[in-house]
A and B are shown apart, each in its own frame.
Chain A
């Protein structure tokens, strides 16, 4: 079996300002993945269809993306302000 640690050379490129921020964001996305598995199991136990359940992968990702987006922590959307972007619904 492939041992990833044996084949990795160098570090991953950083996109979000620093490698640490990238690693944290990657951990959040990984956590989201495991939460989606857990949510699907719970939905099945409760007799709901995991595919259409509100905790499905897509809805979970929607929330993760919204909260991870760099501008989403600001009271006013600095990105939109700077670029005169129309506010999205």
Chain B
């Protein structure tokens, strides 16, 4: 059972976290439901929007939208204040979690220069980002448990994503933007023989990731570095993956990351990122567009607009496509996004493969659940 900092909190701090989680749940169900009703009423009266821009204009006219936006942003800001305070007050105990690992490896690069696009805004509204002070990784770890409501305790969501991978064995797996290792550990759990490597800009996250992997008895290498320049040899990786990392990147970095993935992949190797994509439901997509700004995710709309099929083809990867993913069950849904009443992120898997032979575009075995 993976341990997280949340498990070590006292009763009062746990209740504060519970309150924030309850707030987010109410926002995502009752407030979002009311907003949807208002949108549908306006659309029925004035005509349904046909473009994302029209949908955005209609959403902004819904009376509950200001309230919805305030609660999303306000809950996020309050969350970080609370979690930052919790970590500060419990640092003596929680800081022990950053002890040097024995089994896993934390390869830090003190000379690494973080790029401006990564450093110059507080992603997810977390003050100071995840890369500054030593406690920032612990703050991030606790914060993610509040951010994602639903069945996402510990590694649950990431294990469900890992379970969709088609291979029985892999030799080397690279997790780009591995954070504190939440997305990386399930790969080592499922593919125990594989050489699993996490690449991450944030030094504090690399240290915490290695410690958490150690806690679970997982021999994983976490390397502080740039996903777009991993330093790994050509053609030596079977799987390039990443979870919620592409939407943090501006377009030129996305292109460089795709090129790096193509370079390090072995022929027949696969790329599979768990991300977010447009759903085709203009209401949801319009709300998601603004969600990016409310959450300090400046590059998220860019990913939504990015022609990933063309860009992945341009670097020599084939079969690129988005496949909707049900984060509650782990099902891939190639037929499309299901209708759901509550606010939730539009999870989708971006997949592609490196052709086994230069002249072949034969794809590897289809992913479980894929058409």
Contact = CB atoms under 8 A, between A and B. Distances in A.
A33 B81 contact: no
20 contacts: A1-B133, A2-B84, A4-B84, A7-B127, A15-B66, A15-B67, A15-B70, A26-B74, A33-B78, A37-B15, A40-B15, A57-B18, A58-B25, A58-B26, A61-B19, A65-B30, A65-B31, A79-B38, A84-B41, A85-B38
Interface string A67-79: 0111100000001
B133 A29 contact: no
A47 to B, nearest CB: 16
A86 B67 CA distance: 19
Contacts of B75: 29
Interface residues of A, number: 39
Nearest to B41: A83
A15 to B, nearest CB: 4
A89 interface: no
A85 B22 contact: no
A62 interface: yes
A26 to B, nearest CB: 5
Contact of B132 (A2, A16, A32, A37): A2
B11 interface: yes
Interface in B319-347: none
A83 B63 contact: yes
B16 A62 contact: no
A21 to B, nearest CB: 9
Contact of B15 (A57, A83, A84): A57
Nearest to A59: B22
